[in-house]
């Protein structure tokens, strides 16, 4: 092994510079800067190149992390990028928004031995941003043109990753999306301060330039029937995500000012993209966001940037039990968000129909339940009010009605689409599914992984179909 590695003993782990919280409250630009070249090499050199790379195992894409860290430490940056890109269609996006503390970095051996993790995500982002700058990200070039076609419903990370893999094999790929821009939650969910939209747009452009057709503003099941798609394409991938928001069901939740998280984030993202949006922002308002996941963190931090008077996050368990990324929670705290842990909404109070406060129950935690998480119960007589003229519900998402699109699809008890565990085929022949609509609300990196796996299965099936047709001639 090169003597450039194992430097974790002498060199401390360091993230790229982070903008000061008071500065970043005023705009939607990303909060982390880029590594300088020497710093990236130095940070990569902290990797211990351990025999069993737990980081690689914990990465849903099984990225060859130790290899590209060593190449980075040696200054072989193009090779490092090529290695990273072998297993990931969007390394610069994962480098920015994966909850690394729960994935690769959380399993890093030097982290678990108390030396502080190698900054895997930041190096991955650095390498791929450099690859774009240096022209190392090559145009999409199919190995050969193949006559059969694939229809992909949904231009989120699962659909885009699958589209790229299938197009690289030469299949004719059309991606349909009901939104006016491709990217799914990468473009209309995740805010700019975590992921600048130009980064998603250049990925989409590369796919379009490589021959993938995007049919936008088109909802399958409404604008075009599923049967029409089946008649047009030899295989279909459903990568439609989950968009049925869990709603509050407390007295007063119909008041003006009680809104859902995703439309709020979509409108904010649209403004950032230059669209004219009529809806109100959080400016000048007391905002309470209910929920403790990534969506809630994105809402509180968006409200801060929109100029809210106060922003609070209400969550029924405590900080340790929050489902969202600890890094994002810390970023929110730095930006001035108040956290009301162990608190649950009981009612929304209003003045003339407009939300004015949230009646809140104080909670206590109990024993772990069947899910492995601590149960919770209300502390009687400890209710209190939180001032709020905007209440944002960020309580999670469930699948929409998939049977309305295709009645023959078999669903799980969570209403996600049932697929073969390795082939990703649904109960309908030639129809595959991947991403959140299979796993339930999850992560971008898992959507990419499933998009890739489904594409591999579709490639095998289409190839067999072609061979059979040739043999029959």
Could you tell me the smallest distance in angstroms from the CB atom of residue 396 to ligand FAD? 9
Kindly tell me which of 53 and 189 has the beta carbon lying closer to ligand FAD: 189
Kindly tell me which of 328 and 340 has the beta carbon lying closer to ligand SF4: 328
Kindly tell me which of 103 and 455 has the beta carbon lying closer to ligand SF4: 103
Contacts (CB under 6 A) with ligand FAD, residues 197-216: none
When CB distances are held under 5 to 8 angstroms depending on the partner's kind, the choice from ligand FAD, ligand SF4, none that residue 121 binds is ligand SF4
Phi, then psi, of 345 in degrees rounded to 5: -70, 140
When CB distances are held under 5 to 8 angstroms depending on the partner's kind, the choice from ligand SF4, ligand FAD, none that residue 424 binds is none
User: Whose CA is closest to 227, among 34, 407, 411?
Assistant: 407
Could you tell me the smallest distance in angstroms from the CB atom of residue 317 to ligand SF4? 25
Q: Retrieve residue 168's tokens.
A: 């690289």
CA distance 377 to 365: 7
Could you tell me the smallest distance in angstroms from the CB atom of residue 387 to ligand FAD? 25
CA distance 45 to 468: 51
Could you tell me the smallest distance in angstroms from the CB atom of residue 103 to ligand SF4? 4
CA distance 130 to 367: 48
Binding track over 67-106 against ligand FAD, x by CB under 6 A: ------------------------------xx--------
Q: Retrieve residue 122's tokens.
A: 């930041």
Could you tell me the smallest distance in angstroms from the CB atom of residue 333 to ligand FAD? 17
Q: Give the DSSP letter string of 56-86.
A: HHHSTT---HHHHHHHHHTT-HHHHHHHHHH
Q: Please give the C-alpha separations between residue 32 and each of 239, 251, 308, 381, 444, in angstroms, as whole numbers.
A: 30, 41, 23, 44, 19
Burial 119-153 (b: 16+ CB within 10 A, else e): bbbbbbbbbbbbbeeeebbeebebeeebebbbbbb
Phi, then psi, of 323 in degrees rounded to 5: -75, -20
Kindly tell me which of 357 and 419 has the beta carbon lying closer to ligand FAD: 419
**Could you say whether residue 158 binds ligand FAD (CB under 6 A)?**
yes
Could you tell me the smallest distance in angstroms from the CB atom of residue 263 to ligand FAD? 11
Kindly tell me which of 77 and 239 has the beta carbon lying closer to ligand FAD: 239
Q: Please give the C-alpha separations between residue 125 and each of 55, 62, 180, in angstroms, as whole numbers.
A: 16, 16, 27
Q: Which residues bind ligand FAD (CB under 6 A)?
A: 97-98, 153-159, 176-179, 184-185, 189-190, 194, 219-221, 239-241, 265, 294-295, 298, 405, 435-436, 442-445, 447
């Amino acid at each position: 092994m090169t003597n450039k590695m194992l430097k974790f003993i002498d060199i401390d782990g360091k993230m790229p510079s982070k903008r000061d919280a008071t500065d970043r409250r005023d705009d939607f630009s990303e909060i982390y800067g880029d590594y300088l070249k020497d710093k990236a090499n130095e940070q990569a050199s902290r990797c211990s190149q351990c025999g069993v790379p737990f980081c690689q195992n914990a990465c849903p894409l099984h990225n060859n992390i130790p290899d590209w860290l060593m190449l980075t430490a040696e200054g072989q940056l193009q090779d490092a990028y090529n290695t990273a890109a072998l297993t990931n269609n969007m390394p610069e996006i994962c480098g920015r928004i994966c909850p690394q503390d729960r994935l690769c970095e959380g399993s890093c051996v030097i982290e678990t031995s108390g030396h502080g993790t190698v900054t895997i995500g930041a190096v991955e982002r650095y390498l791929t941003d450099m690859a774009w700058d240096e022209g190392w990200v090559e145009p999409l070039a199919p190995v050969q043109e193949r006559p059969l076609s694939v229809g992909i419903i949904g231009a989120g990370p699962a659909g885009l990753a699958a589209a790229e893999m299938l197009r690289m094999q030469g299949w004719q790929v059309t991606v349909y999306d009901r939104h006016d821009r491709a990217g799914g939650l990468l473009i209309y969910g995740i805010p700019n301060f975590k992921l600048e939209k130009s980064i998603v747009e250049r990925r989409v452009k590369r796919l379009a330039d490589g021959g993938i057709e995007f049919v936008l503003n088109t909802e399958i099941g409404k604008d075009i029937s599923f049967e029409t798609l089946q008649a047009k394409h030899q295989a279909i991938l459903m990568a439609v995500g989950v968009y049925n928001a869990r709603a509050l069901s407390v007295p007063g939740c119909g008041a003006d000012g009680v809104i859902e998280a995703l439309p709020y984030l979509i409108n904010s993202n649209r403004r950032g993209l230059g669209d004219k949006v009529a809806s109100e922002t959080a400016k000048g308002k007391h905002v309470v966001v209910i929920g403790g996941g990534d969506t809630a963190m994105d809402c509180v931090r968006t409200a801060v940037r929109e100029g809210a008077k106060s922003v609070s996050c209400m969550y029924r368990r405590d900080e340790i039990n929050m489902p969202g990324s600890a890094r994002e929670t810390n970023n929110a705290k730095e930006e001035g968000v108040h956290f009301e842990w162990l608190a649950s909404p009981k009612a929304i109070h209003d003045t003339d129909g407009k939300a004015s406060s949230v009646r809140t129950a104080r909670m206590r935690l109990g024993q772990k339940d069947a899910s492995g998480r601590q149960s919770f119960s209300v502390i009687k007589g400890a209710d209190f009010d939180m001032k709020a003229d905007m209440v944002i519900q960020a309580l999670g998402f469930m699948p929409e009605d998939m049977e309305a699109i295709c009645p023959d699809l078999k669903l799980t008890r969570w209403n996600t689409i049932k697929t073969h565990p390795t082939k990703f085929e649904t109960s309908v022949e030639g129809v595959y599914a991947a991403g959140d609509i299979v796993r339930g609300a999850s992560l971008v990196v898992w959507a990419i992984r499933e998009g890739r796996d489904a594409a591999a299965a579709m490639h095998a099936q289409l190839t067999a179909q072609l061979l059979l047709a040739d043999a029959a001639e």
